[in-house]
Chain A
Amino acid sequence: MSDNKTAQPAEKLTKKQLKADHPTWCPACGDFAVLASFFNVIQKLELTQTDFVCVAGIGCSSRIPYFVNSHGIHFIHGRAVPLATGISLSRPDQHVFVFGGDGDGFSIGGNHLNHAARKNINLTYIIMDNFVYGLTKNQTSPTTPIGRRSKTDPNGSVDRPINPMMQLLGSGATFIGRSHATHVKHMNEIFERAINHNGFSVVEVLSECTMFYPGAFDAAIPRKGGEFNLIDEEVHDTACINDAFELAQLEFPGKFGVFYQDDRPSKNDLEQKWIDEVQGNLGDISQQDLMRKSFATMH
Chain B
Amino acid sequence: MEAIGGTAKDRGKNIFVLGLLCSMFRLDKKKLVGIIEAQFGKKGEDILRNCLNAFDAGFAFQTTDLRQFQFAPGEAGHSKRLSTDGNTMLGLGLIAAGVRYGAGYPITPWSSIMELLRRELPKYGGVFMQAEDELAAVAIALGAAYAGHLAVTGSSGPGLSLKSETLGYASMAELPLLVINVQRGGPSTGLPTSVEQSDLLQAIYGSHGDSPRIVLAPKNVEDCFYIALEAAQLARRCSCPVIILSDQALATRIEAFPEPNLEEHWIEPELDLSDRGEEFKPYPIEGQTRHAPPGTPMHEGTFPKVTGLEHNEMGHPSGNPENHQMMNDKRRNKLVKLAADLPLPDVYREEDGEILLLGWGSSYGPVREACDRLRDKGLCASATHLRHLHPLPQQMGELMKKYEHVFVVELSDSGLYGNGQLATILRAAYCNPAIQSICKTDGLAFRVREIVEGVDQFLA
Contacts and interface: CB of A to CB of B under 8 A. Distances in A.
B83 A298 contact: yes
B210 interface: no
A43 to B, nearest CB: 15
Interface string B260-294: 10110010000001010010000000000000111
Interface stretch (B44-52, B116-124, B359-367, B374-382): B116-124
Given A1-B273, A71-B293, A84 B123 contact: no
Given A2-B297, A112-B132, A86 B101 contact: yes
Contact of A91 (B80, B125, B295, B306): B295
B387 interface: no
A70 B297 CA distance: 10
A3 B297 CA distance: 10
A165 B135 CA distance: 25
A239 B275 CA distance: 44
A49 interface: yes
B81 A299 contact: yes
A3 B278 CA distance: 13
B217 interface: no
A94 B275 contact: no
Contact of A74 (B141, B165, B275, B306): B306
Interface stretch (B143-151, B178-186, B406-414, B435-443): B143-151
B249 to A, nearest CB: 19
A241 interface: no
A236 B316 CA distance: 45
A89 B144 contact: yes
Interface residues of B, number: 70
Nearest to B175: A73
B259 A90 contact: no
A45 to B, nearest CB: 17
Contacts of A111: 132-133, 136
B162 to A, nearest CB: 11
Contacts of A114: 132
Interface in A32-83: 49-53, 55, 65-66, 69-76, 78-79, 82-83
B294 A90 contact: no
A115 B136 CA distance: 10
Given A6-B298, A90-B101, A111-B132, A74 B305 contact: yes
Given A85-B129, A288-B266, A73 B297 contact: no
Interface in B80-115: 80-84, 88, 92, 95-96, 100-101, 103
Contacts of A250: none
A279 interface: yes
B135 A9 contact: no
A275 interface: yes
B91 to A, nearest CB: 10
B251 interface: no
Contacts of B141: 86
In this complex, the member of A21, A49, A51, A282 whose beta carbon has the largest number of chain B beta carbons within 10 angstroms is A49
B454 interface: no
In this complex, the member of A271, A274, A278, A287 whose beta carbon has the largest number of chain B beta carbons within 10 angstroms is A287
A49 B316 CA distance: 18
Interface in B234-277: 259-260, 262-263, 266, 273, 275
Contacts of A291: 92, 95-96, 262
In this complex, the member of B165, B166, B262 whose beta carbon has the largest number of chain A beta carbons within 10 angstroms is B262
A294 B139 contact: no
Given A86-B103, A111-B132, A94 B294 contact: yes
B74 interface: no
A196 interface: no
A278 B120 CA distance: 10
A274 B129 contact: no
Given A71-B304, A74-B306, A112 B136 contact: yes
B262 A91 contact: no
A282 B149 contact: no
Contact of B299 (A6, A82, A86, A294): A6
A79 B139 contact: yes
A292 interface: yes
Nearest to A21: B316
Given A2-B297, A8-B297, A70-B303, A87 B82 contact: no
A230 interface: no
B136 A82 contact: yes
A85 B100 CA distance: 15
A93 interface: yes
B24 interface: no
Contact of B263 (A82, A275, A288): A288
7 contacts: A1-B273, A51-B295, A66-B305, A71-B295, A73-B306, A74-B305, A298-B82
Given A75-B139, A90-B147, A275-B122, 19 more contacts: A52-B294, A82-B103, A83-B142, A85-B136, A85-B139, A86-B141, A86-B142, A86-B146, A86-B147, A87-B144, A89-B129, A89-B140, A90-B100, A90-B143, A90-B151, A271-B122, A271-B127, A278-B123, A298-B83
Interface of A: 1-3, 5-9, 17, 20-21, 49-53, 55, 65-66, 69-76, 78-79, 82-91, 93-94, 111-112, 114-115, 271, 274-275, 278-279, 282, 287-288, 290-292, 294-295, 298-299
Shortest 9 CB-CB distances between A and B: which pairs?
A: A86-B143, A82-B139, A53-B294, A82-B136, A115-B132, A71-B294, A86-B140, A83-B143, A86-B144
